[in-house]
Amino acid sequence: DGGITQSPKYLFRKEGQNVTLSCEQNLNHDAMYWYRQDPGQGLRLIYYSQIVNDFQKGDIAEGYSVSREKKESFPLTVTSAQKNPTAFYLCATRTGGTYEQYFGPGTRLTVT
């Protein structure tokens, strides 16, 4: 999990603005995921990608968009259509060998 970076750690935005969260990995893992975590809650899947140029919606994709142009990168855009964007966002990757999932350090987004 040390090979997954998310930046920035804290992000503040005004309501109505789009914001892009970065996720980069050097683990050479094919699969990448974005989760949202609200205080005291579990992990909810936003989007996931198995290979470059391909991604699937998770359980709460509305108001979010992603791209997967490179194997190493899977940025998440939180659009103004997302009604309650304030949350802790976690990026993860998954190996093709043991199938373990590794998490990045997360980005805490606050929208006011």
Partner 1 sequence: GENVEQHPSTLSVQEGDSAVIKCTYSDSASNYFPWYKQELGKRPQLIIDIRSNVGEKKDQRIAVTLNKTAKHFSLHITETQPEDSAVYFCAASRYSSASKIIFGSGTRLSIRP
Q: Which of 29, 66, 82, 85 binds partner 1 (CB under 8 A)?
A: 29
94 binding partner 1? (CB under 8 A): yes
15 or 100, CB closer to partner 1?
Answer: 100
Q: Name residues whose C-beta falls within 8 Å of residue 108's C-beta, 6 or more positions apart in sequence.
A: 9, 10, 11, 87, 88, 89
63 binding partner 1? (CB under 8 A): no
52 binding partner 1? (CB under 8 A): no
- Spatial separation of the C-alpha atoms in residues 97 and 7, rounded to whole Å: 27
Distances (CA, A) of 58 to 9, 35, 43, 51, 73: 23, 9, 11, 16, 18
10 binding partner 1? (CB under 8 A): no
Q: Which of 3, 22, 27, 58 binds partner 1 (CB under 8 A)?
A: 58
**What tokens does 84 get?**
């309650």
43 or 77, CB closer to partner 1?
Answer: 43
Q: Which residues pair with 102 in a beta bridge?
A: 93
Residues that bind partner 1 (CB under 8 A): 1, 29-31, 33, 40-43, 45, 48, 50, 58-59, 90, 94-96, 99-106
